[in-house]
Amino acid sequence: MLETARILVIDDEAPIRRFLRVALEAEGHAVLEAATAREGIALAARETPALIVLDLGLPDADGQSVIEAVRGWSGVPILVLSVRGDEAQKVAALDRGAQDYVVKPFGIKELLARIRSLLRDRAGPVLPAVLEVADLQIDSAAHRVTRAGEELHLTPREFELLWMLASQADRLVTQGMILRAIWGPAHAEDSQYLRVFIRQLRAKLGDDAANPRYIATEPGVGYRFLT
């Protein structure tokens, strides 16, 4: 029997989200919901779901861009659920990294079977809800960060940024990956904006850019969280 999983549903239609929530919770899963690409990417980065169910017709960006953004840092299984049934859309989604594609309207029994299959085949462990990196403890559910037992007060964006970097500890995370995940695809080139947040986050961590303990800069490319 499959373990229960945390599943992120990204769809702008509230009735579809409600329908999927009922069906997935009946299977024992926990469900996260997002109505926009930006919100979905941010939740994927912060909450590390075991699987994403993604609609392509989102109000702020095409769902194909969500696949590209998430694939920048995560191998989480993505099942596309869309009214777009033409072959070109299916091929584009699969080429970008989606694992499966279901056309609306859909049968719930088949959809749940496909989700069970993806959860069985998913690669790699799911990140825990609490990360402990160096002397930091980062709790994704409580949005709480402590350093050597002392609580740090971060803004929601600063927390998302820290979580994304720490969850990829010792790996290079590019500026584009971070901007797409936290601020949305339209901000993928706003590197100066990101530098401001990195500077604020370093100040709260007591980190020194010239001699980093936590966040190292890869000039012109991105950042690496040190362990």
Cβ neighbours for 34, distance < 8 A, ≥ 6 positions apart: 8, 9, 10, 11, 40, 42, 43
Same structural domain for residues 95 and 166? no
CATH, residue 74:
3.40.50.2300
* E strand or H helix that includes residue 182: helix 175-183
User: Which among 100, 121, 142 is the end of a domain?
Assistant: 121
Structure tokens at 142: 């409580």
Among 121, 139, 162, identify where a domain stops: 121
Which residues of the chain carry a pLDDT beneath 50?
1, 123-125
Domain hosting 81: range is 6-121
Same-domain status, 142 and 199: yes
Residues 67, 98 share a domain: yes
Q: Which of 97, 121, 145 is the last residue of a domain?
A: 121
pTM flag (> 0.85): no
Asked whether residue 1 is domain-assigned, the answer is: no
pLDDT at position 175 = 85
As for how many domains the chain has, the answer is 2
31 & 81 share domain: yes
Same-domain check for residues 19 and 106:
yes
Say yes or no: 144 and 89 in one domain: no
Could you read off the pLDDT of 88-137 as tens digits, one per residue? 899 889 988 899 999 998 899 999 999 998 988 764 445 567 888 888 99
Give the 3-state secondary structure of residue 29. Answer: coil
